[in-house]
Amino acid sequence: MLSPFTRSSHARRTALLPLALLALLAPLPLAAQALPDDAPAVDELPVEDVQTFAEVFERIKRAYVEEVDDRTLLRNAMRGMLSELDPHSAYLDHEEFQSLRESTQGEFGGIGIEVGIQDGQLTIIAPIDETPASRAGLESRDVILRIDDTPTEQLSLQESVNLMRGEPGSDITLTIQRRGEEAPRDVTLTREIIRTESVRSELLEPGYGYLRVSQFQSRTGEQVTQAIGELESEGALNGLVLDLRNNPGGVLQAAVDVADAFLDEGLIVYTEGRLPDTEMRFSANPQTAAPDVPLVVLINGGSASAAEIVAGALQDQRRAVVMGTESFGKGSVQQIMPLGNGEGLKLTTALYFTPSGRSIQAQGIGPDVTVVRGRLEVADGQDIGVREADLEGHLRSRDEPRERREMSERLREDYQLAEALNLLKALNVVSERRQ
C-alpha cells in the first residue's frame, strides 16, 4: 500500500504551510539583539531540520485522529523542547506560572511535597514539615506511580504538580512504591492550605540549640538570624544543630544568607553558566550571627539544591561537621523567565559549585559522619535497674523541667538528632580540655 504522502505531494503541502510557522523557526535578529553583547553566538537552524519540523507539523494537522489547533501543537512543541533538556526545565502556561509564584511565596493548596523526575519516574524529593505528606509518613525517594486514577509515567512534572494541588479539604490518593518494598501501596491524603514556615528553633538541652530549616524562601536568612538571637537570649550557646534533612531547596540567595550566618569570611558558593549573568560568586560577610558556636549540620537524601549549598559551604570551610546520609544531588540553578504573553520558562542556566570547586550535580554532599535514620531502644537485659526517677511519687529535680523530659523522648525517636547532640557535647569536652 502506497503512502498518501509521496515526495511530490510532500513538496506541495510543505509549500502551503503558513509562512508564520517557518518564520517562527528561523533565527530572529530581534531575539539576538535582546541578548548581552558577549553572549554566546546562536547557530542558524539547519534548513533540513526546519523542513522536517514543518512536515511533522503538517502531517499531525492533516492525519491525526482528532483535530488539533495550531496553538496546542506549538505549545506542545515548546514543552517538548524543554522537557528533553533536564528534569527541571519546563514551559509554564498562565496557570502553571501563577502556581510556581505561589509556591515560592510560601502559601498554596496541596499536600506538601517537593517532587522531581528521577530515572524517568515521579519521585518525592522531600515532604514539607507539618503537612499532610509528612504526617502520612511519605519519604524522600518514594516513587509516585499514580495520582488518583492517573498514571504518572506519561505526565510532565508540572502536570503532576497541578494534579496534586487542589481545593483544601478534598482528598487525593497516591500510589506509592517505596524502595525495599515489593508491592505498591495507596496513601490517601486530605489537601490543606500549605503555609510553610521555613524556620523554627528550640533548645534541645540548656546550652544546645536546634535550628530547623524546612526550605529556603526569600526571608529565610533573616529568620535564621532572628532564631539564633532568640536561642542566645536564653543563655550562652555551647552548640547548635542545623537540621536540613528533607529540605528540598528554594531560593539561592536565601541559602547564601543562611551560610553567611555562620561564616565571617570566605567563599560560600559560585555558579557557572553560558551567559555572563549566570556566573556569580557569593562570599561571607564579616557581620555574622554565630561565627564561633560549634555546629553540626544534619542532611539526608531529601536535602537538595539550596540545602546542599549550605551544607557544602560549611563543610568546605570546616565550619561545621556534616552528619547523616548522602544528599540528593541537585546542583543546577533555574531561572524563571516571564514571556510576553504572560506565560514563562523555567530554564536551567547554570551549575553551582562549593568553595573547593565540587559540583554537586548528580553527586550530592557526603557527610563527614554517616548516621542512618533510626531510633534508640534499650537492649534486652540492659539498664534494668530501678532508679530514683522510676519510683512513684519521687521528688522532681529542679534542673529537669517537663520540657526536657519531653525532649529526651524526642531524641530517642530521632537517632540522628541524638547523635548530633552527642557530637556537640564531645566537641565541647575536647575544647575545654585544650584550654
* Amino acid, res. 19: L
Given this model, what pLDDT does residue 12 score? 43
Q: Which residue has the higher pLDDT, 396 or 341?
A: 341
Average pLDDT over residues 386-395: 56
**How far, rounded to the nearest angstrom, does the alpha carbon of residue 268 sit from its chain's CA centroid?**
19
Beta carbons of 194 and 128 less than 8 angstroms apart: yes
Question: pLDDT tens digit string along 33-70?
Answer: 355 555 566 667 788 999 999 999 999 999 999 999 99
CATH of 199-370, one of 3.40.50.300, 3.30.1340.10, 3.90.226.10, 3.30.110.40: 3.90.226.10
> Per residue in 244-300, pLDDT tens?
999 999 889 999 999 999 999 999 999 999 988 889 999 999 999 999 999 999 999
Q: Does residue 61 have an active-site annotation? A: no
How many Å separate Cα 288 from the centre of its chain? 26
At residue 399, the pLDDT reads: 52
- Which residue in the list 160, 316, 327, 346 is annotated as catalytic? 316
pLDDT at 365: 97
What number of other Cβ atoms are within 10 A of residue 402's Cβ?
8
Identify the residue with better confidence: 2 or 413: 413
Looking at per-residue confidence, does 96 or 101 come out higher?
96
- The full DSSP string for 187-245 is EEEE-EEEE---EEEEEEETTEEEEEE-SB-TTHHHHHHHHHHHHHTTS--SEEEEE-T
**What percent of the chain has pLDDT above 70?**
79
Sequence-ordered list of residues with C-beta below 8 angstroms from that of 273, at least 6 positions apart, any chain = 279, 333, 349, 350, 351
Average pLDDT in the chain: 84
**Beta-strand relationship, 107-110 and 208-213:** unpaired
d(CA 403, CA 235): 16
Q: What does the pLDDT look like over 167-209, one tens digit per residue?
A: 899 999 999 999 889 999 999 999 998 877 789 999 999 999 9
Percentage of the chain modeled with pLDDT above 90: 58
- The model's pLDDT over 217-247, given as tens digits with 9 standing for 90+, comes to 889 999 999 999 999 999 999 999 999 999 9
C-alpha span between 250 and 334 (Å, rounded): 10
Nearest to 105 by CA among 228, 227, 193, 225: 193
CA 139/CA 124 separation, integer angstroms = 7
Residue 160 has pLDDT above 50, yes or no: yes
Does 107-195 carry CATH code 2.30.42.10?
A: yes
Amino acid (1-letter code) at residue 156: S
pLDDT at position 104, please? 58
- Whether 32 shows a pLDDT value over 70: the answer reads no
The residue to which cell 517505596 is assigned: 178
**What SS3 string covers 327-368?**
CCCCCEEEEEEECCCCCEEEEEEEEEECCCCCECCCCCCCCC
**Which of 142, 330, 332, 414 does the annotation list as catalytic?**
330
pLDDT of residue 328: 92
What's the pLDDT score for residue 310? 98
User: What are all long-range contacts of 425-431, with beta carbons under 8 Å and residues at least 24 apart?
Assistant: 425/208, 425/239, 427/239, 427/294, 427/321, 428/238, 428/239, 428/294, 431/294
Residue type, position 50, single letter? V
Residue 342: pLDDT band with limits 50, 70, 90:
confident
Residue 412's pLDDT is 81
| 237 touches 293 (CB < 8 A) | yes
Identify the pLDDT of residue 405: 53
Query: According to CATH, where is 2.30.42.10 located in the chain?
Result: 107-195
Which among 323, 287, 336, 292 is positioned nearest to 414, based on CA atoms? 323
Catalytic residue among 89, 305, 327, 332: 305
Q: Which amino acid is at 95?
A: E
Angle at 352 between CA 325 and CA 113, to 5 degrees: 55
What is the predicted pLDDT for the residue at 167? 87
Q: Cell for 246? A: 528533607
pTM listed for this prediction: 0.74
Q: 186: which strand partners?
A: 175
Of residues 5 and 430, more confidence is placed in: 430
Q: Residue 377's pLDDT is what?
A: 61
- Say if residue 379's pLDDT is above 70: no
In the chain, residues under CATH classification 3.90.226.10 are 199-370
Active site residue 186: no
Q: DSSP assignment of 354-421, as one string?
A: -TT--B-TTT-PPPSEE--S----PPTTSS-S--GGGSTTPPPPTTS-HHHHHHHHHHHH-HHHHHHH
Active site residue 330: yes
